[in-house]
A = this chain, B = another copy of it.
Amino acid sequence: MILNVDLESEVPIYQQLRDRIMEAIAAGLLVEGSSLPATRTLAADFGINFHTVNKAYDLLRQQGLIRLNRKTGAVVTATSADSPFRADWTARVRTLLAEAIAMGVPVDEVLKTCQFVLDSFGTAQREDAP
């Protein structure tokens, strides 16, 4: 598990961490039951404060993507996107797709990019088959 975090980015570190972990889950690199590194370990790897990692993990926990146990650490859980999540997510995707269209990217190219990204998740080596 290599998480690519840019300490110079304008995007907050805790958010980048959350995003990268979500992407790893989406790609199947992390599956139900996978363990995440301990907050202090991950913080040491990136040379950042463990409170920052803690915040990222807490966001993922609030969203139901991971479970946090003492001693065991952070473990990926099975999730079911509920209706409020879907509504919120659709609103966010509407804004992001609108940006591309407004900037002059053709509709079919936007859709193809989405398809390409989704395919890239599928083609990652996943190990969820029993």
Contacts from A to B (Cβ < 8 Å): 19, 22-23, 25-27, 63-65, 78-81, 85-86, 89-90, 92-105, 107, 110-111, 113-115, 117-118, 120-122
Contacts and interface: CB of A to CB of B under 8 A. Distances in A.
Give the top 7 A-B pairs by smallest Cβ distance, nearest first: A26-B98, A26-B101, A25-B102, A81-B103, A23-B98, A19-B95, A22-B102
Contacts of A22: 95, 98-99, 102
A112 to B, nearest CB: 11
Contacts of A97: 26, 93, 114, 117-118, 121
Task: Summarize A's interface: helix, strand, loop or mixed.
Answer: helix
B92 A80 contact: no
Which residue of A27, A78, A89, A92 has the most chain B CB atoms within 10 A of its CB atom?
A: A89
B117 A100 contact: no
B96 A93 contact: yes
A110 B122 CA distance: 13
A27 B98 contact: yes
A37 to B, nearest CB: 18
A10 to B, nearest CB: 11
B114 A93 contact: yes
